[in-house]
Structure 1
Amino acid sequence: MQAVKMFTTAVCPYCTRAKQLLQSKGVEHIEEIRIDTDPAQRSHMVQITGRRTVPQIFIGATHVGGCDDLMALDAQGGLQSLLQGL
């Protein structure tokens, strides 16, 4: 399974929803990077994604986007194969 990294904040319902979906797909570990406690990480997130909202989700080297993007990828049937590195 590919590594999953997610830029998050403490109080973010979309972050929680994205984590729940990933866990339902078998993801056991999500590397969470809290941008609310580390301004440097917020700047880094904006620099690499071009986005200011959370969550910002990476599966392996692929930037999936936010929660809505993750849900759309799953609805299109692409999430499981991306997680498996196919």
Structure 2
Amino acid sequence: VDYTEYKIDGDDNARNQMAERANGGRTVPQIFINNQHIGGCDELYDLDGKGQLESLLTQAAG
């Protein structure tokens, strides 16, 4: 799956934009799949544990 990584260290404007997209989430990483906010690493692992991550990634790969 292709992905884009944004480095926001030391960039308050970029961090604020991320928090706005992430419903206030300010920790990193904030993960989006197909422009859908997933959350952080814990939420990503939860999706994988529930067997839901692969289908999201398959849809994103189109």
Shorter-chain TM-score tier: 0.7 to 0.9
The amino acid of 2:40's aligned partner reads G
TM-score, normalized by length of structure 2? 0.84
Number of aligned residue pairs: give it.
Answer: 59
Query: Which structure carries more strand by proportion?
Result: 1
Runs (4 or more) in structure 1 with deviation over 6 Å come to none
Residue 38 of structure 2 corresponds to residue 64 of structure 1: yes
* Identical-pair percentage: 49
Partners in 2 of 1:33 and 1:40 — Cα distance? 12
Tell me the TM-score normalised to structure 1 length. 0.62
Partner of 2:15: 42
Note the aligned Cα RMSD (angstroms): 1.5
Match in the other structure for 1:74: 48
Runs of 5+ consecutive residues of structure 1 not aligned to the other structure:
1-26
